[in-house]
Amino acid sequence: MKRLVLKFGGTSVGTTDRIKKVANIVKNRHQEGNEIIVIVSAMAGTTNDLKEKSNLISKNFESKELDVLLSSGEQVSSSLLSGALIDKGVKSRSWLGWQIPIVTDNNHTASQIIQIKTDEILKFISDGGVAVIAGFQGITKNGRITTLGRGGSDLSAVAIAKFFETDSCEIYTDVEGVLTTDPNIHEKAKKIEKISYEEMLEMSSLGAKVMQPGAVQASMIEDIPIHVRSTFSDKPGTKIISESEIDYKKTVTGIAYSKNNAKISIVGVVDKPGVAADVFEPIGKNNINIDMVIQNTSLDGKTANITFTIKQEDLKKTLNIIEENKQIINYKKITHNDKLAMVSIIGAGMIASPGVTHKMFRSLANEQINILAISTSEIKISVLILEDMTKKAVKILHKTFELN
Q: Could you list the residues that contact ligand ADP (CB under 6 A)?
A: 9-12, 41, 151, 173-175, 178-179, 181-184, 208-210, 254
- Cis amide leading into 354 (omega within 30): no
Q: Rank residues 155 and 396 by Cβ distance to Mg ion and give the closer one.
A: 155
314 binds, among ligand ADP, ligand ASP, Mg ion, none (CB under 5 to 8 A by kind): none
> Residue 89: which residues within 8 A CB-CB, separation 6 or more?
none
Binding string to ligand ASP for residues 80 to 119, with x set by CB under 6 A, is what? ----------------------------------------
The neighbour count for residue 229, using CB atoms within 10 Å, is: 23
179 binds, among Mg ion, ligand ASP, ligand ADP, none (CB under 5 to 8 A by kind): ligand ADP
- Of 10, 177, 214, 347, the one binding ligand ASP (CB under 6 A) is 10
Beta 333-346 vs 380-386: how paired, if at all? antiparallel
Q: Sort 159 into a burial class: Cβ within 10 Å, 0-12 / 13-18 / 19+.
A: buried
Task: Find the shortest distance in angstroms from Cβ 403 to ligand ASP.
Answer: 27
Site for ligand ASP in 302-331 (CB under 6 A): none
Closest C-alpha to 5, from 140, 139, 124, 154:
154
Q: Rank residues 183 and 225 by Cβ distance to ligand ADP and give the closer one.
A: 183
Beta 137-139 vs 168-173: how paired, if at all? unpaired
Q: Which residues of 2-29 are buried (b: 16+ CB within 10 A; e: fewer)?
A: ebbbbbbbbbbbbeeebbebbbebbbeb
Task: Find the shortest distance in angstroms from Cβ 186 to Mg ion.
Answer: 20
Query: Using CA of residue 166, residue 167, residue 173, residue 179, what is the dihedral sign?
Result: positive
| Segment near ligand ASP (CB under 6 A); pick from 147-155, 182-190, 224-232, 349-357 | 147-155
Query: Using CA of residue 323, residue 278, residue 109, residue 136, what is the dihedral sign?
Result: positive
258 binds, among Mg ion, ligand ADP, ligand ASP, none (CB under 5 to 8 A by kind): none
Q: What are phi and psi of 130, to 5 degrees?
A: -100, 120
Q: Rank residues 95 and 172 by Cβ distance to Mg ion and give the closer one.
A: 172
261 binds, among ligand ADP, ligand ASP, Mg ion, none (CB under 5 to 8 A by kind): none
Query: Using CA of residue 356, residue 359, residue 363, residue 366, what is the dihedral sign?
Result: positive
CA distance 129 to 241: 29
- Of 135, 138, 177, 349, the one binding ligand ASP (CB under 6 A) is 135
Site for ligand ASP in 149-168 (CB under 6 A): 150-154
Does 213 interact with ligand ASP (rule: CB under 6 A)? no
Q: What are phi and psi of 264, to 5 degrees?
A: -125, 135
CA distance 148 to 125: 25
Site for ligand ASP in 62-81 (CB under 6 A): 73
Task: Find the shortest distance in angstroms from Cβ 366 to ligand ADP.
Answer: 24
Closest C-alpha to 84, from 94, 99, 73:
94
Binding site for Mg ion (CB under 5 A): 9, 151
Q: Rank residues 9 and 138 by Cβ distance to Mg ion and give the closer one.
A: 9
309 binds, among Mg ion, ligand ASP, ligand ADP, none (CB under 5 to 8 A by kind): none
Q: Rank residues 255 and 279 by Cβ distance to ligand ADP and give the closer one.
A: 255
Closest C-alpha to 338, from 369, 310, 305, 375:
310
Per CB under 6 A, residues contacting ligand ASP are: 9-10, 41-42, 47, 73, 135-136, 150-154
